[in-house]
Structure 1
Amino acid sequence: MSRTRSVRILAVAGLMAIVAAPAVAGDTITVASWGGTYQEAQTKAFFTPTADALGITIKQDTTNGLDDVRLQVTGNAVKWDITELGADECARGSKEGLFEKLDYGIIDKSGINPKLVHDDWVGISYTSVVLIYRTDVFGDKGPKTWADFWNVEKFPGRRALSSSQATETLSVAALASGLPIDKVYPVDIDGALKSVDKIRGHVDAWWTSGAQAMQLVKDGEVDMASIWNGRAGTLKKEGAPVSFSFDQGVLTADCMVIPKGAKNKEAAMKALAMFVSPQLQANLPLYVDNGPVNEKAFETGKIPPERIKDINSAPENVKKQVLQDAEFWRDTLVEATEKFNNLIQQ
């Protein structure tokens, strides 16, 4: 037997040990995610290795979020076996009873933040909102904190914030008011809105998509902005004159669920167990800037040491950031978003 083949067999055997028993060979499950380069990365990191190890077929679809799941479940027409959602959507969908209970006898939750482990949903990856600024405007003396971003006298310039992600911007605003990262949650909504009110007259662009935020910074239409870490990383790789760090970042989790009434629940449970395993989680940052949700991924040796410092969920970077509280936003999102939208549209 060749060395390459023996290594591959050992790797597959290791993955198979994650689940209590193999899925039935020939099973087919459908997984829905967000599409684009992120889903392409998931295919390489999670879906293909899982399909190979379990001997199943994984079909793929794309989702627009919780509304899609709600329509399938309430209409008794569930076509997905696993779907990805934002953590706040998972919290809301759980409250509505839209998901199957997860079997943590099969899914090993160790290494995952307990705030992202629930009866019927579990975290899958992280993104971060970070502060980016143009070094051709500020050199190395640009704004480093959200209080700096809010300080228009010390750091004059054009600014951009997100209008589409109220939870992220309100978290940023709370940090700008001087709160330490461990005191942001539960967010004082009215206090965060007052903070937004102080800066809104100096915001030149309210972005509604990651692509727009990236383009604003790339074209020099703004000198500083809130931006998702993946977009910030792309700008750096493309040679744009920008700087950012994970200091005071806002860490946002995505999660995965099995919709209530999924036709292939047993196979889906085993597949999900593999998706969140350290070995497969460690694959994700090899293809995309979303961070592993399982901190044990950083102990596998699969992630190059020089890459770890740039991953938002690396242990040293997590310490610098605020993790959005999905349970908090489950109950406050609608009202907070309405108040936020009304404020910035004045």
Structure 2
Amino acid sequence: MIRMFANRGALALAVSLGLAAGAAAQTRQLTIIAGGGVLGEGVAKAFVEPFEKESGIKVRVIRDQVSAAKYMLQKQSGNIDFDLAGNTGAGAIPLFREDVLEKIDYGKLDKALMAKLPAEAKRPWGVQYFNYAFVLGLDEAKFPAGKPAPSNWAEFWDVKKFPGSRTLQNAELGVQGPLEEALLADGVPMDKLYPLDVDRAFRSLDKIKPSIRKWWKVGSEQMQLFQSGGVAMGMGFDGRFIALTQANKPMRIVWNQAKQISIYWTIPKGSKNVKEAHEFISFAMRPDRQAEFAKLTGYAPSNPDAFKLIPKELAEKLVTYPDNSKNAYVMNQEWYAEVGADGKTNADRISQRWNEWITK
């Protein structure tokens, strides 16, 4: 009798443990802030959907961006409601400095995949998963092949030589905007841009300000301006110009003086699913996934092996393609994150100055 109850007890315990393990497996989850528009769609299709099928981990995708303020507020409240988000170095470095981001545990990531990445892709605070660029885009209907067209930012600034409606991104976020473009237009060489001469940049912006139809903030605004024919030329995301061309609005990309920027996966401090976040990062760095993301978005992969899987006609339109990158420069995100004696980052001060300048 004692043995029977013991067996029943062991069976009940085994069933209980099995159910618990099954429940644990079913409740593995992840919340990702993926960005909006083309970017969010690319993250969902190239990474999230196949990751769910392979891993069984349920992924909730938020098609939005996350601000530094949200990171800080959630850290202070202890209520972290997401596990992964894309971030620039300029955005991530100050957060990591404030202990708001988890340190990436490279021991939990696929070592073979990590070995393929360039050193700058593997930071303590994040893993680079794609590159994009701010470029000069031209409406082909207004600047057909073989006809004179701006080939750099100084010529974009020359409204007499190249008349037409123009657009530039605003700098209200501090970490983006046309400051480098303004300095290039004023004659500063690409390799002498940093540290940015902010005073000189705003003096250059004063010259072009009357000719700017709209200072756009997000990529959807860039798309709408060109799609509607509202502007003939302007600064924009390379991937958005590629998307416009694919949507039967042919655009020419000027790779000369393109500003290359990287986006990294970052994990907020206090994430409830750090293990799953690392699993997702490894998955997203696979060459086939990186190539698929590039096809969907027009943004360049971080894993160089992905180029073996990308059609040549698309590869030639990506910023890290050798013929394009040789004419581009890499945005110094560390400079934007530097903190001055006033406790503010360079990005903070640019944002403040921009908001004052744009209303004058």
Question: TM-score scaled to structure 1, two decimals?
Answer: 0.83
- My pick for the range that moved more, 33-42 or 301-310, is 33-42
Displacement, 1:201? 2.6
1:280 is aligned to 2:285: no
Q: Given that residues 25 and 54 in structure 1 are in contact (C-alpha distance below 8 angstroms), is that contact kept between their aligned partners in structure 2? A: no
Q: Given that residues 243 and 297 in structure 2 are in contact (C-alpha distance below 8 angstroms), is that contact kept between their aligned partners in structure 1? A: no
Amino acid at match of 2:282: A
Which residue among 79, 82, 94 is the counterpart of 2:81?
Answer: 79
Give the 3-state SS of the residue equivalent to 1:246 in structure 2. strand
Aligned to 1:130: 135
Amino acid at match of 1:106: K
1:249 is aligned to 2:258: yes
Counterparts in 2 of 1:1-346, with a 5 A limit?
26=26, 27-65=28-66, 66-107=68-109, 108=111, 109-139=114-144, 140-164=147-171, 166=174, 167-240=176-249, 242-298=251-307, 301-331=308-338, 332-346=346-360
Task: Give me the whole-angstrom Cα distance separating, in 1, the residues matched to 2:79 and 2:287.
Answer: 33
Structure 1 92/233 Cα, relative in aligned 2: closer, same or farther at 3 Å? same
Task: Give me the whole-angstrom Cα distance separating, in 2, the residues matched to 1:244 and 1:214.
Answer: 14
Structure 1 305/222 Cα, relative in aligned 2: closer, same or farther at 3 Å? closer
Structure 1 36/201 Cα, relative in aligned 2: closer, same or farther at 3 Å? closer
Structure 1 146/70 Cα, relative in aligned 2: closer, same or farther at 3 Å? same
Give the 3-state SS of the residue equivalent to 2:265 in structure 1. strand
Displacement, 1:308? 0.8
Structure 1 67/276 Cα, relative in aligned 2: closer, same or farther at 3 Å? farther
Residue by residue, what CA displacement relative to the aligned partner does 1:233-292 show, whole Å, maximum 9, x if unpaired?
233223335422322111222221111111221222122122223332222112222221
Query: How many pairs were matched up?
Result: 321
Displacement, 1:111? 4.3
Aligned to 2:15: none
- My pick for the range that moved more, 140-149 or 246-255, is 246-255
Root-mean-square deviation over aligned CA pairs: 2.4
Q: Given that residues 34 and 64 in structure 2 are in contact (C-alpha distance below 8 angstroms), is that contact kept between their aligned partners in structure 1? A: yes
Query: For structure 2, which runs of at least 5 residues remain unmatched after alignment?
Result: 1-23, 339-345
Q: Stretches of 4+ moved more than 6 A in 1?
A: none
Structure 1 259/55 Cα, relative in aligned 2: closer, same or farther at 3 Å? same
- My pick for the range that moved more, 303-312 or 270-279, is 270-279
Task: Give me the whole-angstrom Cα distance separating, in 2, the residues matched to 1:184 and 1:296.
Answer: 31
Task: Give me the whole-angstrom Cα distance separating, in 1, the residues matched to 2:25 and 2:242.
Answer: 40
Task: Give me the whole-angstrom Cα distance separating, in 2, the residues matched to 1:152 and 1:250.
Answer: 22
Give the 3-state SS of the residue equivalent to 1:97 in structure 2. coil
Displacement, 1:116? 4.1
Displacement, 1:309? 0.7
Amino acid at match of 2:152: T
Structure 1 159/269 Cα, relative in aligned 2: closer, same or farther at 3 Å? same
Amino acid at match of 2:153: W
Task: Give me the whole-angstrom Cα distance separating, in 1, the residues matched to 2:192 and 2:159.
Answer: 25
Q: Determine which structure has more spread, i.e. the larger CA radius of gyration.
A: 2
Task: Give me the whole-angstrom Cα distance separating, in 1, the residues matched to 2:58 and 2:209.
Answer: 50
- My pick for the range that moved more, 134-143 or 304-313, is 134-143
Structure 1 279/235 Cα, relative in aligned 2: closer, same or farther at 3 Å? closer
Q: Given that residues 36 and 65 in structure 2 are in contact (C-alpha distance below 8 angstroms), is that contact kept between their aligned partners in structure 1? A: no
Question: TM-score scaled to structure 2, two decimals?
Answer: 0.80
Q: Given that residues 44 and 61 in structure 2 are in contact (C-alpha distance below 8 angstroms), is that contact kept between their aligned partners in structure 1? A: no
Q: Given that residues 47 and 289 in structure 2 are in contact (C-alpha distance below 8 angstroms), is that contact kept between their aligned partners in structure 1? A: yes
Query: For structure 1, which runs of at least 5 residues remain unmatched after alignment?
Result: 1-23
Q: Given that residues 295 and 315 in structure 1 are in contact (C-alpha distance below 8 angstroms), is that contact kept between their aligned partners in structure 2? A: no
Amino acid at match of 1:218: Q
